[in-house]
A and B are shown apart, each in its own frame.
Chain A
Amino acid sequence: MKNSKIYKYLISIRFAMSLLAVIAVLCVIDTVFHVNLIRSPLMYVLGTVFALSLIVCTVSRVQWAAAKSKKKFQLYAWGSPILHVGLIVVLLGGIISFLVGRQTYYEIPVGETAQVAGRSGTLEMKIDDFRVEYYEDGVTPRQYYTDLTLTKRDGESASLNAFVNGPARYDGLTIIQQSYGWSFLVTLSTPYNSRSFDLKAEEWIPLEDGEDPVRLGVSFYPDYDEDAGVPDTTSDRADNPRLLWVLTKGEEALDMNVLKEGEEADLYNGIRLTFDGYRYYTGLQAKYDPGVKVIFAGFFLVFAGLVIRYAFVMKQEIEEEKGKRETEKKKGRK
């Protein structure tokens, strides 16, 4: 094996560095010319060959360090092997993430629940509250908070808080605050029946069957600007919440108006629209990824190895310089 041509390539520093150079050039081309090279098969092939070369080189470095430490343990000799083992650990972590890691994005209105998969199985995630904290100007957001409760199958539960840069952690899950918005509730009713809708942003609901039905458009304005000529919101805060409804047929707008919370509007043919209420929804990323810890452990090894490797070089140089100065001093005395 050791005499094979492939092994000789894999263990050669020049080969490994050439591979790295090609990978770097592909990264540059990818970002500068917007060609998707980073996730191309070519990159996967290069990455795999590089990983093999890294493993072979690391084994040889470990053997070298072990030989150096045979008589007496030599810490400096282990810097480079530790660094390279760290890189392999990072790659391993990446493989674990790829194989078992999972990530799901949820948009859940306050008070509602969703099912998330944790280490122990499926958990129920209930959104207790969502808040936006503003700076003194009242406009610039300072922080977004979600209060949530996670309940395991066996009934064990935890009340947690997630904010930007402060994820909630439970049962191997990391829950990250990523987005938010307004969700609003409307009811459409006729004398015979009624139907409720829980909506986000602008929605269009056909009120008739057929090719060109009368459609109802509804959208929510948390801080409705009464003075603007067109529907607009002054801020993102619910200071003047209004539901805007529009009735259209084809390109033609038949009717439109705004409603306060709890108000009703007669649309047509006995169909009534009620604006039942509004609430925040929170956008959360729930991530279960045991690979991340492995990757971070790899980072630690890379950094530790690097420091050991070069602290020694520096120490050696400082000592050499000291020695030189002392010799010069002695010469001077003579």
Chain B
Amino acid sequence: MVTIVETVSYYGFLVTIMGAAAYLLQTWLKRDWLPKIGLLLNAAGALLMLVAVIGRTRQVGRLPLNSVYEYLLVLSFAVLVAAFAIALKWKPYLVVGVMLAVAAVLIGVSFGKTDLGGPLLPALQSNWRVSHVLTAIISYTAFAVAFGVGVVYLIIIPGKTPEEVPAEKKERAVFLEKLMFNSVVVGFIFLTLLIITGAVWAEEAWGSWWTWDPKETWALVTWIIYAIYLHLRLRPAWRGKKGCYLSILGFVAVLFTLLGVTYIFGGLHSYG
């Protein structure tokens, strides 16, 4: 049986895809009305996902921060909100177009991961759960921004290093680089908090703060990738495209930690 939450997120999915198309087409067609349509669809997508999140909250009688399905609903909502805010403030439509595409993929994946949302298992009944999952939402949303920027930078900015960037693209390159760096910083701070809250919680629930569970291992791999980005960024040679590759690689690790690990390896985090 298809629930109202699924129906609403289905419409959210469609609207988000159209929004992504509007933002992306603007780059080539250069029509003034396209970004406005994009913004409108972006807002509609965010609203629909908010309705889905509220619907799920009502359906299960608690915050929807339990299974992978619920997590995907909240994360796609957060990515849509972040995209909308960035589009309003700085208008990097190509970047928000990529972010909307990411949000659409997340919603799309959620259709295959629906669950009935049974009561909380004893292992999940902890005050740490909410902070652990919320830090994951903020962190992964920020990394989604950095990913969008990374992809766009690689497409539109010529030259391997910032020195090789042509003068007319310099301002754009500096802006994108800054947006990517700031997003990674926010994502990294919350990823660190995510790992810490997870460790403190694991110590309480399982008596072991670190067990090399696949999800923990992959969270560490993600942390290392972004730590490398933050260290190497201090060197001029690593600004520009090399940093973009790391940002994209980091987000691949994020997605793998979120979905790949849960469905391929199982382990202690297989609640989905």
Contacts and interface: CB of A to CB of B under 8 A. Distances in A.
Interface of A: 13, 16-17, 20-21, 23-24, 27-28, 30-31, 38-39, 103, 135, 137, 140-144, 163-167, 174, 176, 178, 285, 287, 292, 295-296, 299, 302-303, 306-307, 310, 313-314, 317
Interface in B112-162: 118-123, 125-126, 128
Interface of B: 118-123, 125-126, 128, 178, 182, 185, 188-189, 192-193, 196, 199-201, 203-209, 212, 214, 217-218, 220-221, 224-225, 227-228, 231-232, 234-235, 261, 265
B189 A310 contact: yes
B220 A27 contact: yes
Given A143-B122, A287-B207, A314-B182, A17 B265 contact: no
Nearest to B193: A303
B133 to A, nearest CB: 15
A180 to B, nearest CB: 11
Given A13-B231, A17-B231, A176 B206 contact: yes
A302 B196 CA distance: 10
Contacts of B235: 13
A62 B197 CA distance: 27
B224 A144 contact: no
B227 to A, nearest CB: 7
Contacts of B234: 13
A31 B217 contact: yes
A135 B182 contact: no
Contacts of A295: 199, 209
B122 A31 contact: no
B178 A317 contact: yes
A72 B193 CA distance: 31
A31 B221 CA distance: 11
Given A142-B122, A164-B123, A176-B207, A27 B192 contact: no
B26 to A, nearest CB: 25
Nearest to B218: A31
A164 B122 contact: yes
Contact of A23 (B122, B206, B224): B224
A134 to B, nearest CB: 10
B204 A303 contact: no
B189 A163 contact: no
Contacts of A302: 192, 196
Given A285-B207, A303-B192, A31 B214 contact: yes
A39 B178 CA distance: 39
B45 to A, nearest CB: 29
A28 B189 contact: no
B122 A144 contact: yes
Contact of A296 (B123, B200, B208): B200
8 contacts: A17-B232, A28-B221, A135-B119, A140-B118, A165-B123, A176-B207, A178-B206, A303-B192
A187 B16 CA distance: 69
Contacts of A31: 214, 217-218, 261, 265
A118 to B, nearest CB: 15
A303 B196 contact: yes
Nearest to B178: A317
B207 A38 contact: no
Nearest to B118: A140
A20 B224 contact: yes
Contacts of B128: 165
Contacts of A39: 212
Nearest to B215: A31
A317 B177 CA distance: 13
Contacts of A307: 189
B221 A27 contact: yes
The 6 closest A-B pairs by CB, nearest first: A164-B122, A165-B126, A176-B207, A24-B224, A285-B207, A299-B196
A178 B125 CA distance: 14
Contacts of A176: 204-207
Contacts of B224: 20-21, 23-24
B180 to A, nearest CB: 13
Given A17-B232, A292-B203, A24 B122 contact: no
A55 B189 CA distance: 22
Nearest to B129: A165
